[in-house]
Amino acid sequence: MKTVIYASLLTAVVSAYLFVTAPPPLPDKSRVESRGDRDIPVSDLFNIVNQINKDTRNIWTARIVSKGTEAGLKFEEHWLDEGHESGPLPALFMRLTAENLEKQRAPLAVFLGSDMPIKKANIFQGEQVDQFIKMREDFKPKYFSMQKMGIEVGMYPDIASAPGCVSCHNDHPDSAKHDWKLNDLMGAATWTYPTAAISQAELHESIGYVYKAIARSYQTYIEKAQSFSTQVQIGAEWPEKGKMALPDTAVFMSAVIQATAQPTINATYLGRDSKK
Amino acid sequence: MRNDEVDFALRPPQNSDCVDCHDRANDRHPVHRFKEPRFLQSLEVVDARSCMGCHTEHSGARVSNNGEYCVACHKDMTIKKDPITPPHIDLAHQGRWESCLQCHDFHNNHKYRAPKDFSERIDLTTVKNYLRDMENPYGAEKVVKAKKER
C-alpha cells in the first residue's frame, strides 16, 4: 500500500516539475505569419501575378510558339497525346502553369475562360458572366468575393494580342466565333485566393509559387522536346527560321525574370500602398 | 519550426497526397480546374475540387459514387460534327448519363480510344464493376504510371 502512495506522490511531484519547467512551445511559423500581418489586399497579389503571367505568355507566344513554328516546331491542342511531337499553344501553357500551382499546394489558382470559348467547358457561368459583361465595357480588371466557395476573385482581360490568337480561334472548327480581330477581348484570366487580405510573407510566397509553376511548365515542354524524332538543340539559343533550337529552362526563366522583375519589385515594394 | 499543422494521420487525404503519386499532365479532369467560380452550381452536385469527391483512398472501391455526375457540367453540351450515332446531345436530352463512362475514360490515362459507334460501348455492368475496383475495361496499359509508394 505504502509503495502505491509513494509512487503516486512521486508521479505527482514529477508531473508538477515537468509542467513548471516545460519549455515554451515551438513557434508555428505558418500561424505567426498569417496572424495580424494580413494588411495587403489580395487584389495587389492578383495584379502582380497576373502581370507576371501576361509577360510570360507574351514570351511564350512570340519567342517560342511564333519563332518555333518558323523553325519547324509544332504547337497544338493535343500536344500531350501519344505520338504528337508538339508543344502547348499559349492558352494550354497557361493551363499547365495553373496545374503546377496546384501541385505546389498553393492557395493561389488561375483559370482561363471566355463567354465564347472553343471548348464549351471553358464558358463563364454565374457571377463571372456578369463581371465579364462589365469588363466588355471598360476592359478593366474585376474583383469580387464568392463566399459560397470561400474565395476572392480577380478577373483580368485576355486580349487578342497576336495574329496567332486570332487565326487559331477563327479557324478552329469548334470555335463559337469566327470573326475575332486583333485587340478583341477574347476572355479573361481568373485568379482566386482564399482570403481578402494577405501578409507580406504570403505575398512573397505566392509570387514564388507562380515563378516555380512557370519554370516547371516550361521544363515539361523541354522534356517532351527531348523525345522528338527531329533533334532540337536545347541550351542557350532561341528558335528562329532555320534554327531548330530551344532555350533550356534556366535561359527561358532568365528571360521571364528580365521581363517581370522590375514591374514585380515596383508593385511589391514601391507602388503598393500599405495600410501600415 | 513547422510550416503546417501537425499531422497525426487523422486528417483526410488532401489532393496533394494523391498527386504525389498520381500526378500527370494529361488528366482531362484535373481537380484544380473545379476551383474556378463558374463551377459553383456543379459543385453542389459533386465536389470535384477534391479527389475525395469521387474516390476513397485505396479502400477497395475505385469510385465512391455511382459515376453518373457528368451531368453536373455537361448537361448543355453541343458538339459540332458529332462523330457518334445517336449524337451526344440526344443522349444528354434522354438523361443517359450512365452511358458516358461506357465510352469515355474519365481521367484519360489509359491507352484507349472511345468507340465511334455507340453500339460498341462497354457493357454497363462491366463499367459499374470497374468503379468497384474490378477489371479495367479501358485496357491495362496506362499512359502515365503512378509513382511507387515511398
pLDDT tens column, A90-109? 999 999 999 899 888 899 99
CA atoms within 13 A on the CB side of A17: 6
Strand partners, A88: A76
pLDDT at B150: 54
pLDDT at B4: 62
pLDDT tens column, A185-241? 999 999 999 999 999 999 999 999 999 999 999 999 999 999 999 999 999 999 999
Could you tell me if B40 lies within 8 Å of chain A, comparing CB atoms? yes
Burial class (CB in 10 A: 0-12, 13-18, 19+), B150: exposed
Could you tell me if B73 lies within 8 Å of chain A, comparing CB atoms? yes
pLDDT tens column, A54-71? 999 999 999 999 999 999
pLDDT at B2: 60
Q: Mean pLDDT: which of A3-7, A8-12, A78-82, A104-108 is highest?
A: A104-108
Sorted by sequence, the CB contacts under 8 Å of residue A101 that are 6+ apart come out as A108, A109, A110, A209, A210, A213, B32
A99 to chain B: closest CA residue: B32
Q: What average pLDDT does the segment B80-91 reach?
A: 86
* Residue B35 grid coordinates: 476551383
Cβ–Cβ of A30/B40 closer than 8 Å? no
Which candidate in B7, B28, B32, B82 is best for mutational testing of the A interface (most A CBs within 10 A)?
B32
Closest CA to A125 of B106, B70, B76: B76
pLDDT tens column, A12-26? 788 777 777 777 666
Rg of chain A (C-alpha set): 25
Q: Nearest Cβ partner of A190 from B1, B36, B77?
A: B36
Measured CA to CA in angstroms, residue B101 lies from A201, B55, B68 at distances of 45, 16, 8
Count of H-run helices and E-run strands, chain A: 9, 10
Q: What average pLDDT does the segment B108-123 reach?
A: 89
CB atoms within 10 A of CB A19: 8
Sorted by sequence, the CB contacts under 8 Å of residue B74 that are 6+ apart come out as A121, B92, B100
Q: Nearest Cβ partner of A99 from B30, B74, B143?
A: B30
pLDDT at A276: 39
Task: Write down the mean pLDDT value for chain B.
Answer: 84
Cβ–Cβ of A81/B78 closer than 8 Å? no
Give the distance from residue B75's alpha carbon to the nearest chain A alpha carbon, in angstroms. Answer: 11
Buried b / exposed e along B104-120 (16+ C-beta atoms within 10 A)? bbbbbbeebeeeeebee
Q: Which residue has the cell 476572392?
A: A152
- Residue spans of alpha helices (H) in A118-232: 127-138, 163-171, 200-225
Residues of B in contact with A190 (CB under 8 A): 36-37
Q: Nearest Cβ partner of A111 from B15, B26, B36?
A: B36
| Domain ranges (residues) in chain A | 25-270
Q: Which residue has the cell 502553369?
A: A97
Task: Write down the mean pLDDT value for chain A.
Answer: 89
| Residue B115, helix vs strand vs coil | coil
Closest CA to B39 of A196, A92, A119, A123: A123
Q: Nearest Cβ partner of A124 from B3, B26, B38?
A: B38
Q: What is the pTM of this model?
A: 0.81
- The angle at the Cα of A206, spanning B2 to A60, to the nearest 5 degrees, equals 140
